[in-house]
C-alpha cells in the first residue's frame, strides 16, 4: 500500500517535472521567436517618394497613376488628406504628408499644374512650392526568414466591425479566455466522440495562431496538448491586441497562383481589389467565413458555397449584435462583390526579393528587434509599370506559346539605384526571380570588357586600330582547340576596332582578347563589378560563364556612369519606429577604369545602336536621342540579351527559356525590343557626357584607319585620347562638305 502510493507520488513528481521542463522549453521558444515574428511583420518597405517641382519631367498620367497606387480617392473637391480631383492637366490634391528620415512633409492642399509633359507649377493656396514630395508608396512588409511579401495592417487600421465579426465567429471569448477555451474543447471532444473521429478543432484564435506559427497540421493528442500549452504561454506574455493583430496578418485565406494569400489585408486586395478599410460588411463577412475552409469556401471556385457561408457569418454577426438584423439582412442580399477587373495590385515580389537580400545580415538579428522598422527604397512605381507593360507587349508579340521567359533590371545611372525589376513574364507573382537568379552565359555582352582593356592602353590601341577578323584556332592546355565563328559564319578581314565591337565580330574580338590576355580581361571585368561566375579561359572572351541580369546591370552601370563602380542599391535608408535613422546607404563613387577609355567605349557602344547589331533601337527611339548599348546572343539563340543606357537610365533585358532551350532569337531580335520599348517611354535624358580632358576628335578614313580630312571619302569623326591618333595619313585634303555623321552632329563645331 505504502509502496504503491510512493510509486504514484514518484510518477506524479516525474510527470510534473517533465511538464515543467516542457513549459520552460515552449516558453523559451515563444518568447524568443514570437516577438520576432511580430516585429518582422511590421517592417515596412516604401518606394521612392515622388518629387514634385516646377520643371519636373512627369506626365499628368504618371501623377494620376502614382496617386492611384497611393490610394488617393478621386473626388470633386478634395477636403481631406488622401483626396484628389483632376481637371485635365491640373490636379488639386490633399497630400497626406509623411515623416521622412530627414524631415517631415506636411499634409496640405496642393495644386499641381502641367505644361505638356512637365510640371509647370506647384502651389499651396497662393504660395508657390519649390519642392515637395508625396507620401511614398507602401510596397509591403518584409519577413526576411520566410521570404514572402505581404500586405500588413496594424490593428488600429482594421475596422472595428470587422474585428468584432471575426471574434464573434471564430472565438467569442477571445478577450476573456487564457489562450484556450474549456467550452470550445469540451464541444470539440463531444463532437469528435460522437463521430468517432477528429472533426472539430475547437481552437481559439490564440491556438490557431500558435498552430500556424509553430506546429504542423497533424491532428494528434500530443500536438493538441502542445498547442494549448503554447497558447496559454502566448496569452500570458502578450496583449490580446497584439495577438489579434498577428492573427489578422497571418491567417491563410487561399492561393493566388503559386502564392499563398496570408492575412486579411492581402486577401482584401486579392478578392476585392480594395483595402480592408474600404470593404463593406458583406465583404468582411465573406473573408471571415473563409477561415473555416479557404479552399472549400473559395468565392472564385465555389461561389455558391462561399455565399452560403458568408450569410451564416452575417447571421452570427447579427445574433452577436455586431451589426443590426437590418444590416445583416441587407448584406445577405448583396452579391459576392468580387473584383473581376484586372487587378492593380501593388505587389512587387521581384523587387522586394532584392531588398530582402540586400538587408544586411546583422539587420535580421539585431535591428529587426525594433518594432516598426521602415525601409526606404529606390523603387519607382512609374518605371516599374512601364517595364512590366513593355515586357508584356514585346513578349506577347514574340511568343504566344508562353515558353519564353524574360527578366529586366533598371537602374539610374547617376546613383546605381535599382528603380525597377521584372523577374519573369508574370511580374506580379512571386516565383523564380530570373533577374537575380537566372545564371546564363552572356554572349557578346562581355565584349566591352575586351575593348575597354585595349582602350586603356592608348599607346597601343585606339578606336581606329585595325583588327583582323579572320579565322583563328585557340589552343589551351588540356582543352580541345577552339575555333570561334562569326554569327554570319563569314570572316570580314581588316576592320577598325570600333567597327568590330559595333558589328560584334567574334573573330576580331577573340583575336584582340588573346592579344591582351584572358587574365587582363578578367581583371577589367572585376573592375567593372563582375567577379563571380567568370571562367578564366579563352571562351570567356565570347561570353562564357554564368551571369544574372543583375550581374550584367552591375557591369553596365559602371560603364554607364562613366567608369565609376558603385553597388546596385535598392535601399536608401532604414529608420526605426521613432523616425531615427538606423542606417543610411550613402552614395559613393569609386573610379575603377580610365575615364578617357570609357568615353571611347561609349563611342563604340553608340556605334552599336547607330550602325551595328543594335540599330533596331531607333525603330523605337527618336533619331536625335543618343543612347549606347550592346546585344548579346548565346549558342543557337538560347539567350537573347540587351544592355544599354541613355543619359538617365540603364536597363538590361534578357529573354530565354527556363529549360535553356533554343529561342530562335538574337539579342537584336529579342531583348533589344523590350529594352527599346521601355526606354522610348521612360528615358528623359539622352546620353550627353562632356568629353573628358585630354581628348580630341579626328577625321579618320573608315576603311584604312588613317587620319584624313573632313569631306574626304569614307571620312568620319572619331574621338581619341590625345597622342593615340593614327600616325598614317591619307593624301586627301580637307574640304567643305555637307556629310554629317551621327557623332559629328554632337559637336557644334561646324554647325
Partner 1 sequence: MRLSHMLFRFTAVGLLILLAACSTYTPPASTPAPVEQPEPEPEPKPKVATPPAKLPQTPPRPATPSASAALQPLLAKAAQATERGEYEQALALLERAQRVDPDSAEVYLGMAQTHQARGNAAQARATAERGLLYCASEAQCNALRAYTR
- Residues recognised as catalytic: 170, 444
Contact indicator for 60, 89 with CB cutoff of 8 Å: yes
Toward partner 1, which CB reaches closer, 48 or 511? 48
Around 128, how many Cα atoms within 13 Å sit in the side-chain half-sphere? 7
Name the segment binding partner 1 (CB under 8 A); options: 163-171, 259-267, 348-356, 558-566.
Answer: 558-566
Contact between 239 and partner 1 per CB under 8 A = no
Contact between 583 and partner 1 per CB under 8 A = no
Sign of CA pseudo-dihedral 473, 475, 481, 485: negative
What is the spatial distance between Cα 53 and Cα 735, in angstroms, rounded to a whole number?
Answer: 49
x/- site string to partner 1, residues 393 to 412, per CB under 8 A? -------------------x
Compute the least distance from the CB of residue 559 to partner 1, in Å.
13
DSSP-derived pairing of the beta strands 374-377 and 44-46: parallel
Question: SS3 for 300?
Answer: coil
Compute the least distance from the CB of residue 668 to partner 1, in Å.
14
Contact between 635 and partner 1 per CB under 8 A = no
What is the spatial distance between Cα 545 and Cα 558, in angstroms, rounded to a whole number?
Answer: 19
Residue with cell 540603364: 650
- All 3 cell numbers of residue 417? 539605384
Contact indicator for 602, 496 with CB cutoff of 8 Å: no
Toward partner 1, which CB reaches closer, 374 or 486? 374
Residue with cell 580630341: 696
Toward partner 1, which CB reaches closer, 153 or 680? 680
Q: How many C-beta atoms lie closer than 10 Å to residue 566's C-beta?
A: 21
Site for partner 1 in 289-328 (CB under 8 A): none
Contact between 130 and partner 1 per CB under 8 A = yes
Strand partners, 123: 111, 128
DSSP-derived pairing of the beta strands 252-256 and 259-262: antiparallel
Compute the least distance from the CB of residue 507 to partner 1, in Å.
28
Name the segment binding partner 1 (CB under 8 A); options: 484-492, 501-509, 544-552, 621-629.
Answer: 621-629
Toward partner 1, which CB reaches closer, 246 or 557? 557
- All 3 cell numbers of residue 669? 531580335
Compute the least distance from the CB of residue 557 to partner 1, in Å.
13
DSSP-derived pairing of the beta strands 466-469 and 493-496: antiparallel
Name the segment binding partner 1 (CB under 8 A); options: 11-19, 45-53, 480-488, 637-645.
Answer: 45-53
How would DSSP label each residue in 456-500? T-TTT--TT-EEEE----B--TTS--B----TTS---EEEEHHHH
Contact indicator for 538, 473 with CB cutoff of 8 Å: no
Give the residue, chosen from 584, 664, 669, 704, that forms a contact with partner 1 under the rule CB under 8 A: 584
Report how many residues bind partner 1 under the rule CB under 8 A.
72
x/- site string to partner 1, residues 449 to 478, per CB under 8 A? ------------------------------
Compute the least distance from the CB of residue 647 to partner 1, in Å.
7
Taking CA atoms, 237 is separated from 32, 47, 285, 368, 528, in Å, by: 11, 35, 30, 19, 52
What is the spatial distance between Cα 297 and Cα 253, in angstroms, rounded to a whole number?
Answer: 10
Contact between 741 and partner 1 per CB under 8 A = yes
Contact between 745 and partner 1 per CB under 8 A = yes
Toward partner 1, which CB reaches closer, 289 or 381? 381
Taking CA atoms, 708 is separated from 461, 603, 727, in Å, by: 18, 19, 11
Name the segment binding partner 1 (CB under 8 A); options: 194-202, 338-346, 456-464, 735-743.
Answer: 735-743
Toward partner 1, which CB reaches closer, 728 or 750? 750
Compute the least distance from the CB of residue 49 to partner 1, in Å.
10
Give the residue, chosen from 178, 364, 685, 704, that forms a contact with partner 1 under the rule CB under 8 A: 685
What is the spatial distance between Cα 466 and Cα 678, in angstroms, rounded to a whole number?
Answer: 36
Task: State in Å, rounded, how far the first CA of the chain is from the last one.
Answer: 118
Rg of the chain taking only CA atoms, in angstroms? 32
Compute the least distance from the CB of residue 382 to partner 1, in Å.
12
Contact between 54 and partner 1 per CB under 8 A = yes
Contact between 124 and partner 1 per CB under 8 A = no
Please, what is the Cα angle at 466 between 462 and 471, to 5 degrees?
A: 130
Name the segment binding partner 1 (CB under 8 A); options: 50-58, 163-171, 241-249, 464-472.
Answer: 50-58
Contact indicator for 552, 485 with CB cutoff of 8 Å: no
Give the residue, chosen from 32, 193, 688, 727, that forms a contact with partner 1 under the rule CB under 8 A: 688
Toward partner 1, which CB reaches closer, 155 or 695? 695
Contact between 118 and partner 1 per CB under 8 A = yes
Contact between 736 and partner 1 per CB under 8 A = no
Name the segment binding partner 1 (CB under 8 A); options: 6-14, 81-89, 110-118, 343-351.
Answer: 110-118
Q: Residue 146: CB partners within 8 Å, gap ≥ 6? A: none
DSSP class of 57:
B
Sign of CA pseudo-dihedral 674, 676, 680, 686: positive
Name the segment binding partner 1 (CB under 8 A); options: 3-11, 29-37, 430-438, 689-697.
Answer: 689-697
Contact between 742 and partner 1 per CB under 8 A = yes
- All 3 cell numbers of residue 571? 535601399
Compute the least distance from the CB of residue 121 to partner 1, in Å.
9
Contact between 537 and partner 1 per CB under 8 A = no
Contact between 196 and partner 1 per CB under 8 A = no
Toward partner 1, which CB reaches closer, 547 or 678? 678
Give the residue, chosen from 227, 648, 701, 702, that forms a contact with partner 1 under the rule CB under 8 A: 648
Indicate the helix (H) or strand (E) that contains 640.
strand 639-645
Contact between 126 and partner 1 per CB under 8 A = no
Compute the least distance from the CB of residue 178 to partner 1, in Å.
49
Contact between 747 and partner 1 per CB under 8 A = yes
Amino acid at each position: 500500500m505504502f509502496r504503491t502510493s510512493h510509486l504514484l507520488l514518484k510518477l506524479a513528481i516525474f510527470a510534473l517535472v517533465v511538464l515543467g521542463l516542457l513549459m520552460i522549453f515552449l516558453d523559451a521558444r515563444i518568447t524568443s521567436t514570437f516577438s520576432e515574428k511580430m516585429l518582422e511583420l511590421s517592417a515596412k518597405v516604401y518606394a521612392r517618394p515622388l518629387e514634385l517641382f516646377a520643371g519636373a519631367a512627369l506626365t499628368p498620367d504618371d501623377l494620376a497613376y502614382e496617386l492611384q497606387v497611393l490610394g488617393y480617392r478621386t473626388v470633386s473637391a478634395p477636403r481631406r488628406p488622401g483626396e484628389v480631383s483632376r481637371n485635365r492637366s491640373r490636379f488639386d490634391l490633399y497630400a497626406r504628408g509623411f515623416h521622412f528620415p530627414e524631415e517631415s512633409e506636411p499634409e496640405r492642399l496642393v495644386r499641381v499644374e502641367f505644361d505638356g509633359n512637365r510640371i509647370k507649377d506647384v502651389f499651396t493656396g497662393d504660395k508657390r512650392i519649390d519642392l515637395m514630395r508625396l507620401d511614398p508608396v507602401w510596397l509591403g512588409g518584409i519577413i526576411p526568414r520566410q521570404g514572402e511579401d505581404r500586405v500588413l495592417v496594424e490593428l488600429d487600421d482594421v475596422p472595428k466591425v470587422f474585428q468584432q465579426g471575426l471574434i464573434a465567429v471564430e472565438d467569442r471569448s477571445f478577450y476573456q479566455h487564457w489562450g484556450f477555451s474549456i467550452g470550445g474543447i469540451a464541444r470539440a471532444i463531444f463532437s469528435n466522440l460522437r463521430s468517432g473521429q477528429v472533426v472539430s478543432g475547437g481552437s481559439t484564435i490564440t491556438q490557431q495562431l500558435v498552430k500556424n506559427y509553430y506546429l504542423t497540421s497533424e491532428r494528434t493528442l500530443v500536438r493538441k496538448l502542445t498547442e494549448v500549452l503554447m497558447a496559454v504561454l502566448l496569452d500570458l506574455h502578450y496583449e490580446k491586441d497584439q495577438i489579434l493583430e498577428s492573427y489578422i496578418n497571418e491567417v491563410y485565406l487561399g492561393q493566388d497562383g503559386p502564392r499563398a494569400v496570408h492575412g486579411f489585408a492581402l486577401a482584401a486586395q486579392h478578392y476585392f481589389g480594395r483595402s480592408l478599410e474600404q470593404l463593406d460588411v458583406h465583404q468582411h463577412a465573406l473573408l471571415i467565413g473563409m477561415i473555416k475552409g479557404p479552399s472549400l469556401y473559395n468565392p472564385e471556385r465555389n461561389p455558391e458555397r462561399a455565399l452560403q457561408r458568408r450569410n451564416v457569418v452575417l447571421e452570427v454577426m447579427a445574433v452577436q449584435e455586431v451589426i443590426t438584423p437590418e444590416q445583416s439582412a441587407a448584406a445577405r442580399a448583396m452579391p459576392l462583390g468580387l473584383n473581376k477587373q484586372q487587378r492593380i495590385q501593388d505587389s512587387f515580389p521581384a523587387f522586394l526579393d532584392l531588398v530582402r537580400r540586400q538587408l544586411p545580415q546583422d539587420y535580421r538579428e539585431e535591428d529587426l528587434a525594433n518594432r516598426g522598422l521602415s525601409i526606404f527604397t529606390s523603387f519607382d512605381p512609374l518605371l516599374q509599370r512601364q517595364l512590366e507593360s513593355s515586357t508584356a507587349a514585346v513578349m506577347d508579340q514574340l511568343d504566344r506559346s508562353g515558353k519564353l521567359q524574360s527578366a529586366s533590371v533598371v537602374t539610374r545611372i547617376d546613383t546605381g539605384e535599382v528603380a525597377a525589376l521584372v523577374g519573369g513574364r508574370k511580374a506580379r507573382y512571386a516565383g523564380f526571380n530570373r533577374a537575380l537568379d537566372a545564371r546564363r552565359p552572356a554572349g557578346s555582352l562581355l565584349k566591352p570588357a575586351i575593348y575597354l582593356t585595349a582602350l586603356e592602353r592608348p599607346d597601343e590601341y585606339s578606336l581606329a586600330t585595325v583588327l583582323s577578323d579572320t579565322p583563328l584556332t585557340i589552343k589551351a592546355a588540356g582543352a580541345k582547340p577552339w575555333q570561334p565563328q562569326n554569327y554570319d559564319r563569314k570572316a570580314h578581314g581588316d576592320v577598325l576596332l570600333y567597327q568590330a565591337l559595333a558589328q560584334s565580330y567574334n573573330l576580331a574580338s577573340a583575336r584582340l582578347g588573346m592579344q591582351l590576355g584572358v587574365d587582363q580581361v578578367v581583371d577589367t571585368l572585376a573592375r567593372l563589378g563582375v567577379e563571380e561566375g567568370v571562367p578564366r579561359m579563352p571562351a570567356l572572351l565570347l561570353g562564357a560563364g554564368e551571369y544574372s541580369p543583375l550581374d550584367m546591370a552591375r557591369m553596365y552601370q559602371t560603364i554607364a556612369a562613366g567608369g565609376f563602380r558603385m553597388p546596385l542599391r535598392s535601399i536608401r535608408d532604414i529608420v526605426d519606429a521613432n523616425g531615427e535613422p538606423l542606417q543610411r546607404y550613402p552614395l559613393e563613387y569609386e573610379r575603377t577604369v580610365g575615364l578617357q577609355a570609357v568615353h571611347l567605349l561609349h563611342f563604340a557602344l553608340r556605334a552599336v545602336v547607330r550602325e551595328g547589331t543594335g540599330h533596331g533601337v531607333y525603330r523605337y527611339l527618336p533619331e536625335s536621342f543618343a543612347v549606347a548599348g550592346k546585344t548579346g546572343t548565346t549558342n543557337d539563340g538560347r539567350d537573347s540579351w540587351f544592355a544599354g543606357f541613355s543619359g538617365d537610365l540603364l536597363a538590361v533585358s534578357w529573354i530565354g527559356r527556363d529549360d535553356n532551350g533554343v529561342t530562335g532569337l538574337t539579342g537584336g531580335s529579342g531583348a533589344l525590343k523590350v529594352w527599346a520599348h521601355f526606354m522610348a517611354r521612360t528615358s528623359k535624358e539622352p546620353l550627353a557626357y562632356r568629353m573628358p580632358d585630354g581628348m580630341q576628335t579626328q577625321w579618320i578614313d573608315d576603311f584604312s584607319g588613317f587620319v584624313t580630312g573632313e569631306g574626304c571619302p569614307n571620312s568620319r569623326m572619331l574621338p581619341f585620347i590625345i597622342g593615340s591618333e593614327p600616325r598614317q595619313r591619307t593624301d586627301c585634303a580637307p574640304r567643305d562638305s555637307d556629310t554629317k555623321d551621327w557623332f559629328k552632329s554632337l559637336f557644334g563645331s561646324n554647325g
